Structures are given as C-alpha cells and as structure tokens.
A and B are shown apart, each in its own frame.
Chain A
Amino acid sequence: MYAIKHQARGLVSHGVSTCQGCALELAVRVILDVLGERTIIVIPPGCAALFSGFGNETALRIPGVQGNLENSAAIAAGIRAGLEVQGKDDITVLALAGDGGTVDIGLQSLSGAMERGDRILYICYDNEAYMNTGIQGSGSTPYGARTTTTPAGKPTFRKNVLEIAVAHRIPYVASASIAYLEDFRRKIARARDAGGTAYIHLHSPCPTGWGYDPSQTIRVAELAVQTLCWPLYEVVEGKTRITVKVNKPRPVAEYLQTQSRFRSMTPEEIDQVQRTVEAEYQRLLERAEA
C-alpha cells in the first residue's frame, strides 16, 4: 500500500465529498483561484457546506463561517462592516449560497444588503433545487422539472433573481456558466472590484439531482447556454451586455432530453419552454442594444 499525501495547490483541498461530476466543486476551485487568499467566505447549509468541513477539518485555506440558510448576505454585510471600521479594505467578502439559500429563504437578507449597497460579492450556485436535503423543488427549479416535491413536474416557471438584483441598481450583476470558465473568471474579477454589492448567478449542473451521467456536466451546462435556457450576460452600472452570444440557438428539447428530471414533459410543455426562452432572450437582446 502507498500512503498518498498531497498538498492541494489551490485554496481548496482534495477529496471534498461532493458527488462525482459536481459543477459546484469546480466552481469553488475557480472562484477561490480568482479571488485569492485575502478572501473571507460565508457558506450557508447546502451542498457548498461540504467545503466548510466536518468537525475539526475544513476543505478551505481561507477564513470562513457557516451561517444559516437565510442570512448569508447579512453575515457577509456584517463582516464587511467589521473590516471597514478597522480600516481593512483589501479583503474580499464572499457569500457562496445555493439557489434555495438565495432565491427563496435568503432573498430578504440579500435584498437588504443589495439595497444598502454593502460591498460584498454574492455568488449563487444554482443547481435548481434543494439538493442537500434530497432534491426538493425550489423557486429556481425550472418549469417541468421533476423533484421530490414536484413529482409531476414543476407547474410554474422559475423566478428570475438576476433581474431582481438588477432592480436593486447594484453596480454589478452577471449570469455565469460552468461551461464557460473564462467568462466566469472574468466576471468574478469584475464583481470583486465592483465597489458595491456584486451578484453572480452561476448555473451549476448537478448529476445527482438532474439525472444525467456525471461525465456530462460541462456538456449539459453548455447546452443550457446554447439553447437559450441560460443566457450569459452582465449588467454593469445598469448597462446590459451579452457576454456569450448565441447566434444559432439549438432547440430547448436538446437540453431537456439530457436529463431525466424533464422526462415527463409533454411536447406542448416543451414548446412552451421554447417560446418562453426565445421571448426572454429577445428582450435581453433589445435591452443590450438599447
């Protein structure tokens, strides 16, 4: 037997207990690689808490605190305030929360922080359900998706928290995808330097909850972008720019077919998704050109 001892090169250790093919794991490594070690992280319960650690072990080489499900933004705002009164202004305060902790139970405290303009970087990794508690539906679960609390497929469309963030007039809002890492890295850096509240919403495929082979994570993420299900854009000081243009969109069915959670959708329902994403992309284009 060999004793394998290996220091992780980045700020995140090896052997974190996420599932195979988890987009979140790649995301955490990329985020901390861009932000560096002068970062304080806030993580609520959810799959990201696998990085908080267990007992006297943690997966992270930066300071951090695991908060509650609904208060990531508020804890981060408090950390920023504490640093500010001590004149420590070279530190990034990062909140990394799931869709449940962001768009549902955490929306109030996030809204409070955005309205006050607290200088925090809030990244929502969106795996489109409450995964850590067993794949229950969230406000970000897409139309038609089966979860353990939407067993017949979700009857309503997801809420668009990116636009809710934009409505708060914060300096930086962006969507991101794990399939477009350069785009994601650039957005993290911009968000860090935004000078106020910055919000990034990352599409974060989850093989366990979505029902696809773990080897397909990047392809699934890419298809979401290429079918217009997940447009990549940023809104800087209110100005919208599409960062990854999709000139020849593929039909949404190609994306939906990759995952068993959409299996019970009827052709009419798929058609409705098609029309919805097209209309929304059109509106985005118009806003970007205006």
Chain B
Amino acid sequence: MSQEKQHISSYTSHFVVLITLIILTGISVAVTRVEMGPLNTLVAMIIAGAKASVVLAWFMHLKFDNKLFAIFTALVLVIFLLVLYVTFFDYSYR
C-alpha cells in the first residue's frame, strides 16, 4: 500500500472548495424563500448532493484515487437515491 503515490492537494484547491461550499450554502438558504411546494425538498437535496460531491471529489481525494473507489461511491449513491425514490413513491401518491 505504501508504494502507491500520494496526491497532495494545494491550498488553492482547498480554498476553492471552501468558497464553493459557502456559495452553495448561501444558495440553499436563499432558495427556501421561493415557494415550489414539494420541489423545495428536491432542490435542497440536489444542492446538498452537489456539496457532498465537491467534498468527496477534491477534499477526500476521490478524483485522484483508484477509479474503483469512485465507482463504489457512485453505486452507493445510486442505492441511496433509489431508496429515497421508493420512499417518496409512497408519500407522493397518498
């Protein structure tokens, strides 16, 4: 394991990640003022998902690591989304 090359991110990239997260947080707060009914939840989830992806890709180095990890993470997200979809399949047709 030790012979695998380490990727060291620069301060600039960390800073860009931070700014992106702050901007996205601002948007998710601002968007609550727009009345969209059930779509509000969807939008909030999409923004939160974008934030999580930024953290995973740059801050947690998924982008620079073995592709296998990215594939597994994606699969997990697919399962998570499907679970949410199936749950809301109940709520939206009650």
Do A and B truly interact? no
Q: Which residues of A contact B (CB under 8 A)?
A: none
